[in-house]
Structure 1
Amino acid sequence: MNATVCAIVVTYNRSELLKKCLSAIKNQSVGVTHIVVIDNHSTDATETIMKSMASDQVLYNRLDDNYGGAGGFKRGISYALDNTHDQYFWIMDDDTMPTSTALENLLHATLSLSDFGFLTANTHWKDCTPMNVPPIAQNWSVAADKGLIRVQEATFVSLFVERKKVEKVGLPFEEFFIWHDDTEFTTRLSKLAPGYFVTKALVVHESAGNNAPLIYTDSSNRISRYYYLYRNEMYICKKHKGSAVTLMTFLRDLFVGIKVLIVAPDHRAKRSFTVLKGTFSGLVFRPRG
Structure 2
Amino acid sequence: MSTIHPDPAAESLTGGATFDPASATITIVTYNRSGLLSRLLTSIREMDPKPGHVVVIDNASVDDTTAVVETFRESLGSELVYRRLDENTGGSGGFSEGMRVAYELGSIWMWLMDDDVEVTPDGLARMGAWAPRFKSIQGRRYDYDGSEFYWQYRLSIPLGIPIPFAPAGFDESGYRIMNSGCFEGMFIHRDIVREIGLPDPRFFIYWDDSVYGWLASRKTTSVIVNEFVLRRTREIKQWDMGVRHLNASSNAYRYYIMRNRGFMKHYFAEHGSYRPLAFSLGSLLTFGKELVRLLFVERTVRGTSNLWRGVRDGHKIAKDASWRPMPALQEPQR
TM-score (norm 1): 0.83
Instruction: Select the structure that is richer in helix.
Output: 1
RMSD, matched Cα: 3.2
Residue 123 of structure 2: aligned partner:
102
Moved more, 268-277 or 185-194: 268-277
Shift of 1:282: 5.1
State whether structure 2 residue 254 is matched by structure 1 residue 226.
yes
Matches of residues 111-126 of structure 1 in structure 2 within 5 Å?
111=132, 113=133, 115-116=134-135, 118-126=136-144
- Check whether the contact 2:137–2:186 (CA below 8 A) recurs between aligned residues: yes
Deviations 1:55-97 (A, max 9, x none): 6701111111111111111111111122x12211111001121
Show the 5 A alignment for 1:250-261: 250-252=283-285
Shift of 1:41: 0.9
Q: Kindly provide the amino acid, as one letter, of the partner of residue 2 in structure 1.
A: D
Quick check: 1:120–1:160 contact (8 Å CA) kept in 2? yes
How far apart are the structure 2 equivalents of 1:88 and 1:260? 36
TM-score with structure 2 length normalisation? 0.73
Distance 2:34 2:111 in 1: 20
Give the drift of 1:130.
Answer: 2.9
Pair 1:54-2:73 in alignment? yes
Report matched runs for 1:72-83 at 5 Å: 72-82=94-104
8 Å contact from structure 1 (residues 224, 274) kept in 2: no
CA distance in 1, matches of 2:289, 2:53: 44
For residues 247 and 117 of structure 2, the distance between their equivalents in structure 1, rounded to whole angstroms, comes to: 19
User: What does residue 89 of structure 2 align with?
Assistant: 67
| Shift, 1:163, TM fit | 1.2
Change (3 A) 1:96 1:255: closer
Give the deviation of 1:9 after TM superposition: 0.5
The correspondence for 1:273, drawn from 304, 308, 315, is 308
Shift of 1:205: 1.8
Q: What is the CA deviation profile of residues 173-226 of structure 1, one whole-angstrom value per residue up to 9, with x for unaligned ones?
A: 111001111111111111101211111243112233164456xxx5xxx42442
Q: Show CA shifts across 1:246-279 (max 9, x none).
A: 1321443576799999998344662452353255
CA distance in structure 2 between the partners assigned to 1:61 and 1:172 by the alignment = 17
Report how far residue 238 of structure 1 moved: 5.5
2:62 to 43, 50, 55: 43
CA–CA separation in structure 2 for the residues paired with 1:100 and 1:43: 30
Which stretch of the first structure deviates more once superposed, 250-259 or 45-54? 250-259
Task: For residues 137-173 of structure 1, give each alpha carbon's deviation from its aligned partner in whole angstroms, at most 9, with x where no partner exists.
Answer: 89989x9433111112121111100012101110111
Q: Which residue of 1 aligns with 2:274?
A: 242
Contact 1:253 1:276 in 2 (8 A): no
1:100 to 1:210, Cα distance in 2 relative to 1, 3 A: farther
Q: Cα gap change, 1:251/1:125 in structure 2, threshold over 3 Å: closer, same or farther?
A: closer
User: Aligned letter for 1:53?
Assistant: F
What is the one-letter code of the residue matched to 1:65?
E
Q: SS of 2:212's equivalent?
A: helix
Structure 2: state its 5+ residue gaps: 1-18, 157-165, 239-245, 327-334
